[in-house]
Amino acid sequence: MDAEERVELRHDGVTDPRQDHEAPVLLRDGEVIVVDGRAWRVHVPWLPVDTSRRWVDVSDPTCVLDLDRETLCATFTTSRGSVSARGECVRVLLAYAQARRDEPPDEGWLPSAEAHAAWVTLGGNPDSVVERLSWERGKLRTALVRAGATGLEALFERRTWAGVPEFRLGLAPRSIQIG
């Protein structure tokens, strides 16, 4: 099993994407997490800083997101360049992007059950558990870190409404392009 299925690689360490906290808690080297009834020991990699790379800040207010439904490709573009991610994590991003783009500017919040239903409608596996969405959000952030993105803590916003956690895409609706 791919480690990125269960942990999220960040600039400052590793987190458990299933955490339901406003700010992710970094896992310590050697810490044990339990996923699907199975124990996993976390070994945190040392992350070298690449000073030659032009990092793209996805929290930049000028950042534009281009999503391609057919190829499941997401490209984030700023004046500094662009970064892309591909795969199933993009289908999850698409569910949140559609809700954010199609609602008034202050809306676009989805509880996990609604986001899961939207993801299934877009072609996601209906037999997958709702928790898969948090794993895919984590995989998306990991892919974007590897591609040279920063500002990923702002990619998804979280709030609790009537005791239920809800998420939405942190980009402004006008900056989301879906093709």
pLDDT at residue 9, as a whole number: 60
- Can you give the pTM of this predicted structure? 0.73
Task: Look at residue 2 and tell me if it is in a domain.
Answer: no
Task: Look at residue 81 and tell me if it is in a domain.
Answer: yes
Task: Look at residue 15 and tell me if it is in a domain.
Answer: no
Of residues 56 and 13, more confidently modeled: 56
Task: Look at residue 14 and tell me if it is in a domain.
Answer: no
List the CATH number of the domain containing 104. Answer: 1.10.10
Task: Look at residue 89 and tell me if it is in a domain.
Answer: yes
pLDDT digits (tens, 9 = 90+) for 68-108: 999 999 999 999 899 999 999 999 999 999 999 987 877 99
Domains in the chain, number: 1
Domain that holds residue 136: 55-178
Task: Look at residue 45 and tell me if it is in a domain.
Answer: no
Find the distance separating the first CA and the last CA of the chain, reported in whole Å: 32
pLDDT digits (tens, 9 = 90+) for 100-141: 998 787 799 999 999 999 999 999 999 999 989 988 998 999
Task: Look at residue 30 and tell me if it is in a domain.
Answer: no
Q: Is 46 exposed, middle or buried (0-12, 13-18, 19+ CB in 10 A)?
A: exposed
Task: Look at residue 46 and tell me if it is in a domain.
Answer: no
